[in-house]
A and B are shown apart, each in its own frame.
Chain A
Amino acid sequence: MIGLRPDLAVIAQHVAPGSKVLDVGCGDGALMLALRDKRGCDARGLEIDPANVAECVAAGLSVIQGDADTDLAFYPDGAVDYAILSQTLQTTMRPRLVLDELLRIGLKAFVSFPNFAHWRVRLSLLWGGRMPVTRQLPVAWYETPNIHFSSIDDFRALVREMDVKVEDAWFLSGNQRRSAAAANLRAEHAIFLLSK
Chain B
Amino acid sequence: MFFVLEDHNKNDYPLLYQRMFKLRKEIFADQLGWDVKLSDLGEVDVYDDCNPAYLVWTNTEKTILYGCLRLLPTTGPTLLYDVFRDTFPNNVSLTAPGIWEGTRLCIDEKALAKDHPDMGAKRAFCLMLLALCETALQFNIHTLISNYEPASKRLYNMSGAELVELGRADQYGRRPVCAGSFEVSKKVLQNMRIRLGVSHALLNNDFCNDLKKTDEPRAA
Same complex origin of A and B: no
